[in-house]
Amino acid sequence: MFNENGYLQEVDEVTMRRFLRARNLDIEKASAMLIKYMTWRRNFVPTGSISASEAPNHIAQNKVFIQGTDKRGCPIALIFGAKHYPCKGINDEFKRYTVFVLDKLCCRIPNGEEKFICIIDLKGFGYSNSDVRGYIAIISILQDYYPERLKKVFMVHTSYAFMTAWKIVYPFVDKNTREKITFVENKKIQSALLEEIDVDQLPEIYGGNLKSIPIQDS
């Protein structure tokens, strides 16, 4: 659906199947979802892609990294929650940043695969990092406009401050998305990640061999 530069191409059969699966093969609902997506895309991303210059405050926080692939070749995003600070009054910039990140990941999905994995590291996460409105925006964009793209989310080093925010956000997460989210105990992080990711693709901070690349440099 995206070319190598992140520009939206014609809707293909694979994309239509994703939307159908997201609506349990209900053609009418899937068609409505796809039309909503295409309308949103034309309005929110009129040039075809979001550039780093359109989300400078969030790019500067250096909080999302591209981290190799899982055992099936699906790309991995490594996200540091403690590096995120809400930018007051400019929620649209955060939405643009979210689309920038998601499009970067989608461009890296190989033929034959459709999804990506996220590792969300919440070590050091405090109340100043909490952004309920931003989290709800991410969930809405992911569920409404990137259906069947998320393969799995590993939540590691969770903190009390994050879990407080999570209780508010949780009702906005649909059942299918909830089933893809795993909260990992600290002592089991490496073993849990190695079930999906080979050691040569695992981030160095979790005992792997691969350096992480800031998403804006990927």
Residues 189-211: pLDDT tens digits?
Answer: 999 999 999 999 999 999 999 99
Structure confidence at residue 121 (pLDDT): 98
Structure confidence at residue 9 (pLDDT): 53
What are the domain boundaries of the chain? 50-217
Average pLDDT, the chain: 92
pLDDT at 106 over 60: yes
CB neighbour list of residue 195: distance below 8 Å, 6 or more residues apart: none
Residues 140-153: pLDDT tens digits?
Answer: 999 999 999 999 99
Query: Quick one: what percent of the chain has pLDDT higher than 70?
Result: 94
- What is the torsional sign of CA 20, 23, 28, 32? negative
Structure confidence at residue 12 (pLDDT): 79
> What is the mean pLDDT of the segment spanning 25-54?
94
| HEC per residue, the chain | CECCCCCECCCCHHHHHHHHHHCCCCHHHHHHHHHHHHHHHHHHCCCCCCCHHHCHHHHHCCCEEEEEECCCCCEEEEEEHHHCCCCCCCHHHHHHHHHHHHHHHHHCCCCCCCCEEEEEECCCCCHHHCCHHHHHHHHHHHHHHCCCCEEEEEEECCCHHHHHHHHHHHHHCCHHHHCCEEECCHHHHHHHHHCCCCHHHCEHHHCCCECCEEHHHC
Structure confidence at residue 4 (pLDDT): 47
Chain centroid to Cα 96, Å, comes to 13
Q: Report which of residues 33 and 10 the model is more confident about.
A: 33
Residues 110-141: pLDDT tens digits?
Answer: 999 999 999 999 999 999 999 999 999 999 99
Structure confidence at residue 2 (pLDDT): 46
Residues 59-94: pLDDT tens digits?
Answer: 999 999 998 999 999 999 999 999 999 987 668 999
Structure confidence at residue 75 (pLDDT): 98
Q: Which two tokens stand for residue 100?
A: 């920038």
Query: Quick one: what percent of the chain has pLDDT higher than 90?
Result: 89
Structure confidence at residue 14 (pLDDT): 86
Q: Which two tokens stand for residue 153?
A: 């989310």
CATH architecture of residue range(s) 50-217:
3-Layer(aba) Sandwich (3.40)
Nearest to 201 by CA among 56, 111, 76, 31: 76
The single residue listed with the structure tokens 């939405």 is 95
| Residue 1 confidence class, pLDDT cut points 50, 70, 90 | very low
Structure confidence at residue 6 (pLDDT): 45
Structure confidence at residue 87 (pLDDT): 82
Bridge partners of 214, per DSSP, are: 65
Residues 168-193: pLDDT tens digits?
Answer: 999 999 999 999 999 999 999 999 99
The single residue listed with the structure tokens 């695992």 is 202
